[in-house]
């Protein structure tokens, strides 16, 4: 139990007495990664696909899907996934408003219409009940984001679309290795897509992956942005006649230095990510009993498992934010030696890009240029998402488990959150 003590922000002794940069270093790079890149450079095969195809096979096996398509970044992987899922002009796509922009800005170039939905106040993923209210005859797909590594309620989403023809697209950029009912996220819906850039849980440089068990989705994705592989990856003769040109006018090929790093990283990923997971769980366990503190971690949901340490959050209850703003709490925790910040993303349904911008000169906002109705939403329409930043503070992202120092970081949070009267 934390005793009454003077906070560091007021001159007290900081809780974190020893800084350990190695606690947070990610990705972990070794000579194996360097040699893999050098091998590609010396072979002058940076723009070939032989190493990439080996990585795709290995990642699909690890993920538990039949197909994997490697892309130059996560944004293009999601672009391919949406096109592969059949999203076209005038289609509506339900997507959470609270996420990174790369989840759904591809809808602008596809001519599809975003239908933004609210989030669950604890998982921070899309709220299935709100999704159900937004499905229409125009709904082509639902984008599910497994935010900050926490798996969304895939039972509810899959049951909702069963027999409807609506495709479920999983953005698992934050959640490599996370599972829902022992299945890796990214393998549960009709198609998954994720960034694997240098800060992500599975970090390889700048790249992305598409995963699916649906050959039709896979082939359409290949045709859309991987022109040089149509002849070798596509079986449908109606598609093969267009081989040699990318249907979307995009070249989404993964650079083979990324592929090489990805293969080396994948070999050790499970062991390395387990370190961060154990450290995060230890950290959160030391905060669970503080009134008004809810770690964004599935302690009480046996269906879910967080697969790796990435952008963890703590959700603050009314009894805390009614006394002290999250930003001020973060200032006090940072003074204790554990840097943190308040909030994260903004709500896309309130951003002028989605409400005003005419990207292609259609004479109306691009988000509704081909829509059969105006799907734009105003302030107050998605209340959980609109107010969630007031409740969120970031937790440390641990790469390794160093128990004594992890405990000091937990004490930094505990010390402040148990002494709000001082700030």
- State the CATH number of the domain containing residue 313: 3.90.1150.10
In this structure, are 86 and 205 located in the same domain? yes
What's the pLDDT score for residue 22? 87
Same domain, yes or no, for 309 and 206?
no
The pLDDT of residue 3 = 54
- Do 396 and 314 share a structural domain? yes
**Strands 191-195 and 183-184, bridge-based pairing:** unpaired
Residue 200's pLDDT is what?
96
In this prediction, residues 167-172 reach a mean pLDDT of 98
Q: 256 and 273: one domain?
A: no
Are residues 47 and 123 located together in one domain of the fold? yes
Confidence category of residue 172, pLDDT binned at 50, 70, 90? very high
More confident residue, 18 or 91: 91
Count of structural domains within the chain: 2
Please give the average per-residue pLDDT across 309-318, as a whole number: 95
Q: Is residue 318 part of a domain?
A: yes
The β-bridge partners of 77 are none
Residue 153 lies in a domain: yes
Residues 179 and 43 in one domain: yes
CB 210 within 8 Å of CB 77: yes
- In the predicted structure, residue 2 carries a pLDDT above the cut 60: no
Last residue of a domain, one of 264, 281, 302: 264
Those residues with Cβ within 8 angstroms of residue 5's Cβ, 6 or more apart along the chain or in another chain: 12, 415, 419
Is 57 part of a structural domain of the chain? yes
Q: Which CATH number is 63's domain given? A: 3.40.640.10
pLDDT in tens, 183-231: 999 999 999 999 999 999 999 989 999 999 999 999 999 999 999 999 9
Mean pLDDT for 106-116 is 98
Sheet architecture: strand order including 304-305: 183-184, 179-180, 304-305
d(CA 91, CA 95) in angstroms, rounded, equals: 13
Note the pLDDT of residue 20. Answer: 86
In a domain, 329, yes or no: yes
Q: Does position 1 have pLDDT exceeding 60, yes or no?
A: no
Model confidence at 331: pLDDT above 90? yes
DSSP secondary structure code for residue 307 in this structure: -
341 burial via Cβ count (<10 Å: 0-12, 13-18, 19+): middle
Q: Which domain holds residue 293?
A: 8-26+269-344+386-422
In angstroms, rounded to a whole number, what is the distance separating the alpha carbons of residues 126 and 117? 7
CA-to-CA dists, residue 154 to 54, 188, 209, 369, angstroms: 30, 8, 20, 31
Residue 354 lies in a domain: no
What is the rounded average pLDDT of the residues 309-334? 96
Domain shared by 254 and 283, yes or no: no
Domain closes at, from 264, 292, 307: 264
> Does one domain contain both 18 and 122?
no
pTM (predicted TM-score): 0.96
Same domain, 194 and 279: no
Question: Residue 420: phi, psi to the nearest 5?
Answer: -60, -25
In a domain, 375, yes or no: no
The answer to whether residue 362 sits within a structural domain is no
- Does the pLDDT at position 362 exceed 70? yes
Query: What's the pLDDT score for residue 21?
Result: 84
Percent of the chain whose predicted confidence (pLDDT) is above 90: 97
CA atoms of 78 and 90, how far apart (whole Å): 18
Average pLDDT over every residue of 331-358: 97
Residue 342 DSSP label: B
pLDDT > 70: percent of the chain: 99
Residue 61: predicted pLDDT: 98
Residue 104 shares a structural domain with residue 141: yes
180 inside domain: yes
- Give the tens place of pLDDT for each residue, 58-97: 999 999 999 999 999 999 999 999 999 999 999 999 999 9
Domain final residue pick, 264, 285, 311 = 264
Q: What pLDDT score does 296 carry? A: 97
The whole-angstrom separation of Cα 223 and Cα 107 is: 18
| Tokens read off for 411 | 């004490």
- Is residue 92 domain-shared with residue 142, that is, in the same domain? yes
Question: Are 290 and 321 contained in the same domain?
Answer: yes
Band (18; pLDDT cuts 50, 70, 90) = confident
């Amino acid at each position: 139990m934390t005793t009454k003590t003077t906070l560091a922000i007021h001159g007290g002794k900081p809780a974190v007495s020893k800084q350990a940069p190695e606690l947070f270093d990610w990705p972990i790079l070794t000579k194996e990664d360097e040699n893999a890149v050098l091998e590609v450079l010396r072979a002058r095969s940076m723009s070939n696909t032989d190493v990439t195809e080996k990585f795709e096979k290995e990642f699909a096996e690890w993920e538990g899907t039949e197909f994997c398509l490697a892309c130059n970044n996560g944004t293009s992987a999601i672009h391919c996934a949406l096109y592969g899922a059949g999203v076209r002009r005038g289609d509506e796509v339900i997507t959470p408003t609270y996420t990174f922009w790369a989840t759904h800005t591809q809808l602008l170039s596809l001519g599809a219409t975003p239908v933004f939905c609210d989030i669950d106040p604890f998982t921070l993923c899309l709220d299935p009940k709100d999704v159900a209210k937004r499905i229409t005859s125009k709904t082509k797909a639902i984008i599910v984001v497994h935010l900050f590594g926490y798996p969304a309620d895939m039972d509810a989403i899959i049951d909702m679309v069963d027999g409807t023809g609506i495709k479920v697209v999983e953005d698992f950029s934050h959640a490599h290795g996370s599972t829902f009912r022992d299945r890796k996220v990214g393998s549960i819906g009709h198609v998954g897509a994720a960034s694997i850039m240098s800060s992500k849980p599975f970090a390889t440089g700048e790249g992305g992956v598409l995963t699916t068990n649906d050959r039709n989705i896979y082939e359409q994705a290949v045709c859309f942005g991987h022109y040089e592989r149509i002849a070798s990856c596509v079986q449908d003769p109606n598609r093969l006649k267009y081989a040699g040109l990318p249907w979307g006018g995009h070249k989404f090929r993964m650079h083979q230095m990324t592929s090489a790093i990805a293969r080396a990283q994948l070999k050790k990923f499970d062991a390395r990510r387990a370190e961060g997971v154990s450290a995060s769980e230890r950290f959160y366990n030391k905060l669970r009993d503080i009134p008004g503190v809810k770690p964004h971690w599935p302690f009480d949901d046996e269906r879910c498992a967080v697969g790796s340490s990435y952008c963890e959050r703590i959700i603050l209850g009314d009894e805390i934010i009614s006394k002290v703003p999250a930003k001020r709490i973060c200032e006090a925790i940072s003074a204790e030696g554990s840097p943190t910040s308040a909030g994260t993303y903004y709500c896309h349904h309130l951003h002028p890009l989605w409400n005003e911008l005419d990207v292609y000169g259609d004479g109306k906002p691009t988000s509704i240029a081909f829509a059969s109705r105006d799907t734009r939403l105003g302030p107050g329409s998605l209340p959980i998402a609109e107010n969630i930043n007031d409740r969120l503070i970031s937790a440390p992202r641990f790469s390794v488990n160093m128990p004594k120092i992890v405990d000091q970081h937990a004490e930094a949070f505990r010390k402040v959150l148990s002494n709000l009267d001082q700030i």
